[in-house]
Amino acid sequence: MPSDVPGMRFSATRDLQGYTVHFGMQEQDLLVQLHKPGSTLDLIPSRLLKGTVPYQFSDNFSHWYHRETKSIEFCKIHKAWALDDQRNWRFIRDEGHWKLGCHDGTFLVAPSSELATRIAEILNPLEAPLGLHLVYSTAKSATEIQIPSLRLEFLLRSGEPFIESRQFRDMHVDPNQSIGTLMGFKSKLVLSSSREPPSRMVLIPEGDVQHEMNTFNHHDKHMMVTVVHGSARRVQACRLDDLLGRLVGSTKTESKLYLAYLHGLTSFCLPDPFIGRTGTEEALDILGSAIVRVTSVLTETSYDILHSISTLSPKRSFYPRNEKVMQVVGWSSRLSYVSQDDRFYRAGRNLLARSHEISFLHPTHEVPDSPDFSSVHLVERAINRASRGHVAGFGAEEFTTQHDVRYTSRTQGILSDRGIRAQEIASRVYNSQCYVIERVELSFAQDFYQLLSAGNVFNPSQIPPKSMLQYDSKWFQKPETFLASDWLLFSPRGIFAGRIFV
């Protein structure tokens, strides 16, 4: 029915929790106003709070402005009408500043404060600043740090130098965030224990991966890999085994494939100090492990990761496609050449082929087709050729001579005139020898004199500019048309002090 409140168009036919509800529109915003004796509330559009409070507080709450108390009440989105609940968060004005707090003496630390900024820098590998909840408890004199999207919690006690982990007992954020492997992977958080000897752990979010080639010191290049904030499905906790030099993480196939992909992206020509081998070698070791090749159903995410691993390899195809005489190789400028190993393509195809073999055990499960952007023959050939640069156990065993044949040269052992001339020119340039290649005829002097006599001979007093020696179509014409007029311009002995020397 029509509303009698200025600016509103309709009102509800029944009261809601003692309030009369009025509705209206202002551009794209829905206006909702609640009325009862002594209390008036207005619904605040969530877009007005975006960038001011964390994402969860702006997206998953409804916000009501109390005109009498000049405060804003936050109701959970699935309980948007649960007003005056003591458990609700409230924006109140205190000493000229707004505070978002609860009845139990907890307050949300403003994301723009100095404390929140410093903590956001530490936890930035896992989540964006507005994805963090920093809740200060006056009773505990401590700040609880929550990452709702990853279901992680930390605790910063007053006067303590470390940020403690709630999920992992006796672990805190390590000041040293280097682990000696996964070089260039920025989205990781290293934890360490307080006991001696300390144990370490690395938290790796599993989400959408971005990578780019970064240049350091103007010439050194290395991959920088990050996980898009807000895209992580879960966090993989890997324990650092210093004794065996390995990362001990989740046994899920999806997590293993994800870790292999990160190792492949961050690979370098030198072995990683912690694991003692390159990222490519570690990735191939994971892809060849029994835990990955087990006869189980792969998830859709696992298939996506397998596809990403396969695309690390360069694309190889015959040219022309109907012949086997040449090949075209497509390299990615966004990847290190060390990461672009042909064995990733073969490993991806083998794992998908294995899934097809056991698909009869899971008739309702669909297995995607194997990647076909490269010729298998060319990939195997490239693996064999590159095996001489690999170590035992990681590619050296691929070497074989069974495909070797004697090379048949294009000239079939007969030297061509053009080849001989090219060899002679190269030899003279290399040895700085300045003399003609072919024998000069006896009549050369007479023929040359006749050419110079065919036109006017100029003797300029200035050295000609270098631009006259640039490309011009006249150099392809007959010598009679330009030699007589231009000879003295370019002869090193032609002009000196206005005299002609012969």
Per-residue confidence (pLDDT) for residue 175, from 0 to 100: 94
Give the pLDDT confidence of 39-52 residue by residue, as tens digits: 888 999 988 999 88
Phi, psi of 185 (to 5 degrees): -85, 110
Residue 498 pLDDT > 60: no
pLDDT bucket at 302, cuts 50 / 70 / 90: very high
Q: How many residues does the chain have?
A: 502
d(CA 54, CA 60): 10
Closest C-alpha among 295, 186, 187 to residue 235:
187
pLDDT bucket at 350, cuts 50 / 70 / 90: very high
Closest C-alpha among 251, 209, 249, 253 to residue 232:
209
Better-scored residue on pLDDT, 484 or 46: 46
Considering the chain, what percentage of its residues have pLDDT values greater than 90? 44
Domain residue extents for the chain: 38-108, 148-294, 315-398, 443-489
Of 56-60, 122-126, 443-447, 483-487, the range with the highest mean pLDDT is 122-126
Beta carbons within 10 angstroms of residue 57's beta carbon: 20
Per-residue confidence (pLDDT) for residue 24, from 0 to 100: 85
Closest C-alpha among 210, 251, 248 to residue 232:
210
pLDDT bucket at 497, cuts 50 / 70 / 90: very low
Identify residue 79 by its one-letter amino acid code.
Answer: K
Give the pLDDT confidence of 442-472 residue by residue, as tens digits: 888 888 888 877 777 666 666 777 777 778 8
pLDDT bucket at 118, cuts 50 / 70 / 90: very high
pLDDT bucket at 266, cuts 50 / 70 / 90: very high
Per-residue confidence (pLDDT) for residue 458, from 0 to 100: 63
Residue 359 pLDDT > 90: no
Considering the chain, what percentage of its residues have pLDDT values greater than 70? 94
Residue 416 pLDDT > 90: no
pLDDT bucket at 344, cuts 50 / 70 / 90: very high
The answer to whether 456 touches 484, Cβ cutoff 8 Å, is yes
Residue 295 pLDDT > 70: no
Give the pLDDT confidence of 215-238 residue by residue, as tens digits: 877 677 889 999 999 999 899 999
Residue 491 pLDDT > 70: no
Please name every residue paired with 23 in a beta bridge, in sequence order, or none if there are none.
Answer: 10, 32
Residue 341 pLDDT > 70: yes
Percent of residues in the chain assigned helix, strand, coil, to nearest 5:
25, 25, 45
Per-residue confidence (pLDDT) for residue 95, from 0 to 100: 73
If residue 203 lies in a helix (H) or strand (E), which one and from where to where? strand 200-206
3-state secondary structure at position 27: coil
Per-residue confidence (pLDDT) for residue 69, from 0 to 100: 86
What mean pLDDT do residues 266-274 have? 93
Phi, psi of 319 (to 5 degrees): -140, 120
If residue 403 lies in a helix (H) or strand (E), which one and from where to where? none
d(CA 190, CA 319): 48
Q: Which residue, chain included where needed, has tokens 């007992």?
A: 169
Better-scored residue on pLDDT, 301 or 475: 301
d(CA 217, CA 204): 28
Beta strands in 417-480 (DSSP E): none
Give the pLDDT confidence of 319-336 residue by residue, as tens digits: 998 888 899 999 999 999
Torsion angle of alpha carbons 429, 434, 439, 442, nearest 10°?
160
3-state secondary structure at position 353: helix
Note if the bond before 205 is cis, omega within 30 degrees. no
Give the pLDDT confidence of 398-413 residue by residue, as tens digits: 888 888 888 877 777 7
Q: Biggest alpha carbon distance in the chain?
A: 124
Per-residue confidence (pLDDT) for residue 501, from 0 to 100: 37
Residue 192 pLDDT > 60: yes
The answer to whether 101 touches 108, Cβ cutoff 8 Å, is yes
Averaged confidence pLDDT in the chain:
87
Distinct helix (H) and strand (E) counts, the chain:
10, 22
The answer to whether 103 touches 109, Cβ cutoff 8 Å, is no
Better-scored residue on pLDDT, 446 or 261: 261
d(CA 241, CA 207): 24
Which value, in Å, is the radius of gyration of the alpha carbons in the chain? Answer: 38
The answer to whether 62 touches 45, Cβ cutoff 8 Å, is no
Phi, psi of 99 (to 5 degrees): -130, 135
What mean pLDDT do residues 199-206 have? 96
Residue 493 pLDDT > 60: no
d(CA 347, CA 219): 33
Per-residue confidence (pLDDT) for residue 499, from 0 to 100: 41
d(CA 493, CA 502): 8
d(CA 454, CA 448): 10
Per-residue confidence (pLDDT) for residue 366, from 0 to 100: 87
Note if the bond before 197 is cis, omega within 30 degrees. yes
3-state secondary structure at position 51: coil
Per-residue confidence (pLDDT) for residue 5, from 0 to 100: 80
Per-residue confidence (pLDDT) for residue 496, from 0 to 100: 42
pLDDT bucket at 495, cuts 50 / 70 / 90: very low
Phi, psi of 189 (to 5 degrees): -130, 125
3-state secondary structure at position 236: strand
Give me 199's structure tokens: 């144990």
pLDDT bucket at 257, cuts 50 / 70 / 90: very high
d(CA 158, CA 154): 13
Better-scored residue on pLDDT, 165 or 450: 165
Give me 472's structure tokens: 């011009």
Residue 33 pLDDT > 70: yes
Question: What is the rounded end-to-end Cα distance, in angstroms, of the chain?
Answer: 115
d(CA 271, CA 41): 64
The answer to whether 262 touches 225, Cβ cutoff 8 Å, is yes
Residue 502 pLDDT > 50: no
